[in-house]
Structure 1
């Protein structure tokens, strides 16, 4: 995953489900008012609805823009509405993956 700012690119190899990502933390600390946080896709930023809202909302309140390339979202009022819908879908998909994994692991045990 890439985090960009003019003059800076932050790359993270950990999954969006992990909260402890040093590059994401460094990127968020580096951003200043007027910058834009650009992510390739919402599910690469975070997988839970609450994490996505926090990771996009905190910078917005600090005057930092947000853009998701895959979903073509930006920090407009309409973009924020669609963001919340897509964020809920990302969390739902993550839960389906976890359920499917557990079912797949349980089947051979039976």
Structure 2
């Protein structure tokens, strides 16, 4: 992926309006400081949420992003007021870029309407991609090491080999049914059929299917 073209913000006209967004993590915290700073920065309107950054449902942020138009600039007091993670930040700002909307963070002095700000954002995007690749590589190496040790990966089997043998033995009883055996083993009827495939076809009737 070419990060320079895929995620780096293009030059944005500064002819539009400045629109602010603020957030506090609890309803007891006060938004006045953020609102005042954003207003002083020239924002004509400020949207604000009183929610944890981990909360994916941020109605005022959604309203803010919907309000913005091409040429506008979204302004926040600091990066952590907007995004839950670096990847979240990259996603939001990249979407703003596609809509020809700028982004400015007052605390970090980041402004994607300037060449320097676009360069910083490009570094952020490259760092996010690097971290993602490290995580993927580490996961693959961990899985390979586990396989080399003979460790079973994925979900554990519903029935152990001993339980399968026990199920087969119980099903030979004249009054045994698949349902009764499944209930005793704490599994579903379909699990019994999966682990005792010889029950399919004509053998199902012989073993009992109730």
Q: Smaller-chain TM-score range?
A: 0.5 to 0.7
> 1:74: which partner in 2?
111
Q: CA deviation at 1:17?
A: 2.5
Q: CA deviation at 1:49?
A: 1.7
**Contact map agreement 1:39 1:67 (CA 8 A) in 2:** yes
Unaligned runs of at least 5 residues, structure 1: 89-110
Measure the CA separation in 2 of the matches of 1:7 and 1:80.
24
Answer with 1 or 2: which has the greater Rg.
2
> 2:91: which partner in 1?
54
The TM-score with structure 1 as length reference comes to 0.66
Secondary structure in 2 aligned to 1:28?
A: helix
The TM-score with structure 2 as length reference comes to 0.37
- Count of residues in correspondence between the two structures: 87
Q: CA deviation at 1:50?
A: 1.6
Q: CA deviation at 1:14?
A: 1.3
Measure the CA separation in 2 of the matches of 1:15 and 1:69.
21
Please list, as runs of the form range in 1=range in 2, the aligned pairs for 1:8-47 lying within 5 A after superposition: 8-47=45-84
Unaligned runs of at least 5 residues, structure 2: 1-21, 23-34, 129-210
Q: Residues 28-60 of structure 1, C-alpha deviation per residue, up to 9 Å, x if partnerless?
A: 000000110001111111121221111111011
Greater relative contact order: 1 or 2 (C-alpha under 8 angstroms, separation 6 or more)? Answer: 1
Measure the CA separation in 2 of the matches of 1:6 and 1:41.
15
Secondary structure in 2 aligned to 1:11?
A: strand
Measure the CA separation in 1 of the matches of 2:115 and 2:53.
25
Q: Which moved more, 1:3-12 or 1:55-64?
A: 3-12
Q: CA deviation at 1:65?
A: 0.7
The structure 1 segments of at least 4 consecutive aligned residues displaced by more than 4 Å after TM superposition are 2-6
Measure the CA separation in 1 of the matches of 2:52 and 2:118.
23
